[in-house]
């Protein structure tokens, strides 16, 4: 576990980047559901279920990290490694609204996620950002990610038997 002094730590010495634990999931879900940028305006659930997040923690291709302040989850990142293409997909990175821009929380999470993805064999990372989310776009551009073409979000729920 990261103690805050290793790569991927934040500028705040009291907040470290750690692996997400099953015990963190209620807080992660509450934080995820509170973020307006995650709303897709579709009929699907607007954030991941506990069951999905539990699988994320056990899948060898999953990357799930949190930052805690005083034991409370204040930021997290979820990413996925796709071995066939050697791509990493940055699914979600968020920081509690009250802590955005303070302490380098997102930077620490992103750096650590990239390190883990690289160890898994990843050589390319991509993600989606709402075109209207200029703050997130600037954040990623400052960290070397390039802005790509504009896409529209589409989805379909598949029926399981």
pLDDT digits (tens, 9 = 90+) for 78-136: 999 999 999 999 999 999 988 888 878 999 999 999 999 999 999 999 988 888 888 88
> In Å, what is the CA distance from 19 to each residue of 2, 13, 59, 67, 136?
8, 17, 13, 9, 23
Q: Is 149 part of any domain? A: no
Cα separation, 11 vs 92, whole angstroms: 21
pLDDT in tens, 8-43: 555 666 678 999 999 999 999 999 988 776 666 666
Q: Which domain holds residue 37?
A: 17-142
Classify 4 as helix, strand or coil. coil
Number of domains in the chain: 1
Q: What is the CATH number of the domain that holds 47?
A: 3.40.630.30
72-76, 134-138, 155-159 — which is least confidently predicted?
155-159
pTM recorded for the entire structure: 0.82
Name the strands in the sheet holding 72-82, side by side, starting at the edge strand that comes first in the sequence. 17-19, 62-69, 72-82, 87-95, 124-127
Q: Is 154 part of any domain? A: no
Q: Is 1 part of any domain? A: no
Q: Is 129 part of any domain? A: yes
Q: Is 70 part of any domain? A: yes
């Amino acid at each position: 576990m990261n103690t805050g002094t290793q790569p991927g730590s934040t500028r705040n010495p009291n907040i470290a980047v750690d692996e997400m634990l099953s015990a963190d999931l209620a807080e992660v879900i509450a934080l995820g559901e509170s973020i307006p940028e995650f709303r897709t305006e579709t009929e699907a659930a607007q954030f991941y279920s506990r069951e999905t997040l539990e699988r994320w923690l056990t899948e060898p291709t999953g990357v799930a990290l949190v930052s805690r302040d005083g034991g409370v989850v204040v930021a997290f990142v979820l990413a996925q490694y796709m071995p066939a293409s050697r791509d990493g997909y940055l699914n979600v990175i968020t920081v509690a609204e009250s802590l955005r821009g303070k302490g380098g929380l997102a930077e620490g999470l992103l750096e650590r996620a990239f390190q883990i993805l690289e160890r898994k064999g990843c050589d390319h990372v991509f993600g989606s950002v709402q075109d209207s989310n200029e703050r997130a776009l600037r954040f990623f551009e400052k960290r070397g990610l390039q802005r790509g073409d504009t896409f529209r979000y589409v989805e379909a729920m598949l029926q399981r038997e």
